Homo-oligomer: A and B are copies of this chain.
């Protein structure tokens, strides 16, 4: 049996700027996160007890606790009563944010391209009306886009938005993601309900994505809500599974 790794407490250079408008707990948590990211705080190492840490920084214990807690919530740290706080070993990257395909592709270094197929107002079908919480047959935006990477079609995106929220400019839609446009329009995205499945491609779908009829497709439906609870977007997407899969990290709810 391997000896139980007793990692040492790490002495870290930390400091806070009291004249800054940035909250003290936030300054501290960012420095700690950077140290973890950077490898200064190695996985398994203890953080040193809160009281001593507070004294060293000239902060109160609640403030230090708030900083630590935010990192615990992110899954970067683990607290053990009677033991201490230590850095988690595993390679936690990001606990699944409400991301856009465009941003994901851009972050992955693939230069994404978008072709807007449709950008118009249509009467809401029963399905769309139910998802967005608007009256049936009332006007909604309908946007159909083809997302390409390296010139190859990767996904077909069909989105519906309630009217009056945002001006949908076709030019802008081709150069950035829908979520970025919505945020820029002052909409605070809050939560989303997603459903991921698979099915065989119809002839029309196959043609759009340069696949064959009957080929497996990855499908995703999503309703997004802002912080007042309004549904602000409903989307039906199909992806080519050979080109795309959903990857994410998730934490256990405590």
Tell me if B75 and A246 are in contact (CB < 8 A). no
Tell me if B245 and A196 are in contact (CB < 8 A). yes
Interchain CB contact (< 8 A) of A231 among B90, B229, B246: B90
Tell me the smallest distance from the CB of A171 to a CB of chain B, in Å: 27
Copies in the complex: 2
For window 179-226 of A, CB contacts with B under 8 Å fall at 189-200, 214-218, 225
Residues in chain B near residue A73, CB distance under 8 A: 73
| Complex Cα–Cα for A92 and B75 (A) | 22
A241 within 8 A of B: yes
A13 within 8 A of B: no
| Complex Cα–Cα for A186 and B87 (A) | 20
A249 within 8 A of B: yes
Tell me if A216 and B231 are in contact (CB < 8 A). no
A98 within 8 A of B: yes
Interchain CB contact (< 8 A) of A228 among B62, B89, B215, B248: B89
The chain B residue with its CB closest to the CB of A89 is B229
Tell me the smallest distance from the CB of A248 to a CB of chain B, in Å: 6
Binding site for B on A (CB under 8 A): 43-44, 62, 73, 75, 78, 88-98, 189-200, 214-218, 225, 227-231, 241-242, 244-253
